[in-house]
């Protein structure tokens, strides 16, 4: 479950929240406002951008699984 970091547009409070759905109902814990901006996901890096080291299928001309030896 990802943690998203939000910033309240009303009181400028920064807070983090665990969300489970695509459209979570998030409000500021300080002032209760729903006028917030999602900044980024702390765990968003994992799964979005993967390194190009997919095992075995990256390169057909080498027998290594990582392709580090032929590039």
Give residues 22-41 in contact with Zn ion (rule: CB under 5 A).
28, 30-31, 33
Of 13-21, 42-50, 56-64, the segment contacting Zn ion by CB under 5 A is 13-21
Of 12-20, 37-45, 49-57, 61-69, the segment contacting Zn ion by CB under 5 A is 12-20
User: CB-based contacts of 70: which residues, under 8 Å, 6+ apart?
Assistant: 59, 61, 62, 64
User: CB-based contacts of 32: which residues, under 8 Å, 6+ apart?
Assistant: none
Nearest distance in Å: CB 34, Zn ion: 9
């Amino acid at each position: 479950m990802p943690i998203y970091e939000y910033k309240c547009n009303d009181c400028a409070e920064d807070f983090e929240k665990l969300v489970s759905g695509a459209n979570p109902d998030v409000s500021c814990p300080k002032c209760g406002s729903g006028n917030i901006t999602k900044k980024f996901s702390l765990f968003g890096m994992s799964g979005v951008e993967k390194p190009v080291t997919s095992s075995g299928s990256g390169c057909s001309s080498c027998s290594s699984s990582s392709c580090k030896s032929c590039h």
